Chain A
Amino acid sequence: MTVVTEAAALTSGVRARRPSAARLAVVALIGGAIVVPFVVTGYHVLQLTQIAIYAIAILGLNLVTGYSGQISLGNGAFFALGSYTAALLITRLGVPYWLTPPIAAVVCYGFGYAFGRSATRLEGIYLALATFGLAVSTPSILKFELLERWTGGSQGVVLAKPSSPIAALDVDQWLYLFTLVVAIIVFVAAWNVIRGRTGRALAALRDHSIAASTMGIDTVSYKSIAFGVCAMVTGIAGALQATVTGYVSPDSFQVFLSIQLLVGGVVGGIASIFGSLFGAAFIELVPDYAKALSDDAPAALYGILLIICMMGMPGGIAGLAYQTRMWLARRRVHRASS
């Protein structure tokens, strides 16, 4: 299976000096993202916030599954850890909500690294099963009696909604912009990691781990780091989710969450940073429209699309966009030469 990545595209000759299109796209995207909460109403702002949160979570999955080639079906667990970390920090220790994403990032990195370290011997389907087990057990762990004092058991933890520090913004707009800023930071950081030494090491691991270790890449350590970074990014999304929803409970982190994230990752493009955005928009918006077809449609649609994507466009939406761009470029070259 060939997986098309931006990293590959950009490190190959395509990068050349035609930055204006890519640059304009990024600027337009960020500019649009900043303007849009002022033209739509409260509920839609919440939806956009949710897309930004999912985008971060899917990015986390992308880093571990797309770039380092380790299948994770358990990202819901990292998401839950981030959420509960934030919720407990806010309710027990009185930490302000805007400090929770970085703290959750540290906690989740530690957990993800430890998990990755213990799972380094597992590959392929076995790793998928181990991570899936993590996702399945999350709700039960959250309800575990010894932890109940902190997690609130099945009752969950209710958080007070923060207020907006800027009078001109209502709380939805404020939380959206806050989420957006965090998302931009995470995306830029991920972009840098992927295109740096770590990113190349991870790609080498994915493409041929024996060759990679021959070249001196410490596979155990990099695999663990990949899981750590994945958990960290997903945990940040979880922390944001806790603040935005104002409530965490085991019901928020059922197995289906992990599957949703995976579907988002695959549909958007599993080894693409910007694919995360498409994937997030997909899992946030499509179920609503699918429900118009039938009450049971969303789950079926997820399944069908997952199969179609794997068979028809393994690069997801981002891959499709990339291929279209390449095809147009080739045609232009072809026309110019003839």
Chain B
Amino acid sequence: MSNRSGLFSRLCTSWHVLLVAWSGALLMSPMSGCKKQDAQTGVTATEIKIGQTMPYSGPASAYAVIGKTELAYFKRINEQGGIQGRKLTLLSLDDGYAPPRAVEQTRKLVESEGVAFVFGSVGTAVNTAVRPYLNSNKVPQLFIATGADKWADPVHFPWTIGWQPSYRTEARVYARYVLTARPAARMCVLYQNDDFGKDYLAGLKDGLGDQYDKRVVQTVSYEVTDPTVDSQIVTLQGAGCDTFLSATTPKFAANAIRKVFDIGWKPLFFMSNVSASITSVLAPAGLDKSTGIITGQFMKDNSDPSVASDPEMNAFRAFMKQYAPDLDPNDVNTAVGYSEAATLVHVLTQCGDDLSRDSIMKQAASLKDYKVLLAIDGVKITTSATDFKPITQMRLARFNGKSYDTFGELMSGD
């Protein structure tokens, strides 16, 4: 094998060339080594640069609507003159819902684009992957769109703050209602086999406390790759439950509603908030089959006909028509994007002229009774240096066959 050793010797004889290149490179390194941080990175007299990563491609691309709505919202703010004369530039990059890609894109945003902060990136895994980087570089990671419970950790991650109530919080609200409304409940849970579904189990354990073992009779999981959850529903009915929590994502939620109805099971039916939209879940499952379903709401359902006359909702629809005509105003994700963007604008306004990263993070953690757009009455954001949970309140709502009726008190899941 003369040519085999040939390549090797060729490489070896060229080694000194490499050494020269290498030492040359080392000499140049100090120049690129030190980066100067401006007091107000990403902020000029006329612009605030904001970054985010979104699953525009990949398995979770339905959530990308959140990013698109936020872009539209900032467009409107800019047309109205921006925030104290500064235009908002949102760089919304595709991460394909893959953590390695998100790390890369986030670093691109911070290092190449020089954004002031990261806002509203979607997904638990994605945000987990970028959190250490953003925190060690002291870049605010604001109002990320995930319901995982771990984001409120100001001691370890003082630069990361969530927005929506966590799934765990939501499950605690259900647990509390079950304890009062049906103290002898035999409860069953269907949950998605991932962090989303398991947070509901954790929340139920929190809420039911020592009652958990007595009240929860059976739990069954499914995989996102499963074609249906029919067999799981039959199993749960067979366990003789009179109360059912469906901790499911929309496709499986519609499937669960239909199956529960078809087999004649009539439990007290709780549906996870993410899958309670009338147009995207209940209507496909059948509105008559969905009657009686209870969910915890913190935002008004933008597809609910009963809120059609609501002035805030009308403003939202007018906005969608003008700035995002290609997006569906009944899609719950558009409402989420709209409200999140509004929360951010409120924070930036509160910053006044000090738009350093320190100040932005401080203001995000100093919200006082901020009324969230499109939220149900009474839901307000209050944050502090030790409280990194923006929205924690929910109200139960029951579907009456046409729209949701809220009932009971506004509950806090903490």
Chain A residues near B (Cβ < 8 Å)? 10-11, 15, 19, 23, 26-27, 30-31, 34-35, 37-44, 46-47, 50, 136, 139-140, 143, 153-156, 158, 161, 168-170, 173, 188, 191-192, 195-196, 241, 244-252, 254, 256-257, 287, 291, 295-296, 298-299
Contact = CB atoms under 8 A, between A and B. Distances in A.
A46 B133 CA distance: 13
Given A31-B17, A34-B18, A50-B100, A155 B195 contact: yes
A188 B103 contact: no
A40 B28 CA distance: 11
A38 B98 contact: no
Given A136-B225, A196-B1, A249-B129, A35 B25 contact: yes
Interface string B182-195: 00000000000111
A245 B193 contact: no
Given A26-B7, A34-B22, A168-B30, 16 more contacts: A26-B11, A27-B18, A30-B18, A41-B112, A46-B107, A154-B196, A155-B128, A155-B195, A168-B33, A191-B7, A195-B3, A241-B100, A245-B129, A247-B132, A287-B96, A291-B56
Query: Which 9 pairs show the lowest CB-CB distances between chains A and B?
Result: A154-B194, A251-B125, A43-B111, A247-B129, A38-B25, A27-B14, A295-B56, A43-B107, A31-B21
Given A41-B32, A195-B3, A252 B99 contact: yes
B166 to A, nearest CB: 14
A219 to B, nearest CB: 23
B414 interface: no
Interface residues of B, number: 58
Nearest to B99: A252
A296 B96 CA distance: 10
27 contacts: A19-B6, A26-B7, A27-B18, A30-B11, A35-B25, A38-B25, A40-B32, A43-B110, A47-B104, A139-B225, A161-B132, A168-B29, A168-B33, A169-B29, A195-B4, A196-B4, A241-B100, A245-B100, A245-B103, A245-B129, A249-B129, A251-B123, A252-B98, A256-B98, A287-B96, A295-B57, A296-B57
A295 B94 contact: yes
A23 B10 contact: yes
A246 B132 CA distance: 9
A26 B14 CA distance: 10
A196 B26 CA distance: 37
Contacts of B103: 46, 245-247
Nearest to A167: B33
A236 to B, nearest CB: 16
Interface of B: 1, 3-4, 6-8, 10-11, 14, 17-18, 21-22, 24-26, 28-30, 32-33, 35, 56-59, 61, 64, 93-94, 96-100, 103-104, 107-108, 110-112, 123-126, 128-129, 132-133, 136, 193-196, 198, 223, 225
Contacts of B10: 19, 23, 26
A249 B4 contact: no
A200 B57 CA distance: 41
A251 B195 contact: no
A250 B33 CA distance: 34
